[in-house]
Amino acid sequence: MIEQIVFYAFAAILIVAATMVITVRNPVHAVLFLVLAFFASAGIWMLLEAEFLAIALVLVYVGAVMVLFLFVVMMLDINIAVLREGFARYVPLALVVAILMVGAIGVTVGPANFGADKVAIPAPHAADYSNSQALGAAIYTDYLFPFEIAAVVLLVAIIAAIALTLRTSRQHKQPKTEMQLRARRADRVRLVKVSGTVEQQD
């Protein structure tokens, strides 16, 4: 009973916070609501006995990523008026799509398919069950191959980030030798035909 109350409380906070993220005008407030949404989902994961994921979500997302995000948002000068341009024009189409989607999701992902009577309630784990141990064992045995690919994706992200942001040319004022060597005579010198005679004027 208490578990249900806690679940509904967290779920309500999550939905309200997520809605606020996309509706508030101030981007800093939006980021803070996102933090709240993460906290609420961490709480729900805790109810599902996924302690490791819940803690990782709070530590990594709330502790590190969102703080960084907050800094970035504070540094950027975001013009809300420009972002909201054309909002009214797209509302009717967006509403139609949204209503269709909500209807379809309601019909399919409702109690008819995922109701409490359809899925057996998993047995609770023993008190000394280690979530992180189970996760580690799964990652390094059954999921070794995807885990390694995820590592390669991170490597590529690093390479891409460096390639896109490192600007060596701005950091020193050396002349660009390759540009100088590539210069051809035709680029710099223009021959102009000048007639040798000067017309006499009366």
Q: Is 182 in the site for other proteins (CB under 8 A)?
A: yes
Q: Shortest Cβ distance from residue 70 to other proteins (Å)?
A: 21
Residue 107 lies near other proteins (rule: CB under 8 A): yes
Task: Return the number of the residue (22 or 112) whose C-beta is nearest other proteins.
Answer: 112
Number of residues that this document lists for the chain = 202
Per-residue binder mask for other proteins (CB under 8 A), 112-131, x = binder: xxx-----------------
Question: Distance of CA 149 to CAs 51, 120, 144, 199, Å?
Answer: 25, 33, 9, 80
8 scored as a contact of other proteins (CB under 8 A): no
Should residue 143 be labelled a site residue for other proteins when binding is judged by CB under 8 A?
yes
Cα–Cα distances in angstroms (integers) from residue 177 to residues 71, 89, 167, 188, in the given order: 39, 53, 17, 16
Residue 43 CA to residue 7 CA, distance in Å, equals 8
- Contacting residue, 81, 116, 153, 186, with other proteins by CB under 8 A: 153
Helix (H) / strand (E) containing 64 = none
Residue 150 within binding range of other proteins, rule CB under 8 A: yes
Is 156 an interacting residue with respect to other proteins (CB under 8 A)? yes
Residue located via tokens 């210069």: 183
Q: Print the SS3 string covering 11-39.
A: HHHHHHHHHHHHHCCCHHHHHHHHHHHHH
Site membership for other proteins, residue 104 (CB under 8 A): yes
In the complex, which residues of this chain contact other proteins (CB under 8 A)? 104-105, 107-109, 112-114, 142-146, 149-150, 152-153, 155-157, 159-160, 162-164, 167, 178-179, 182
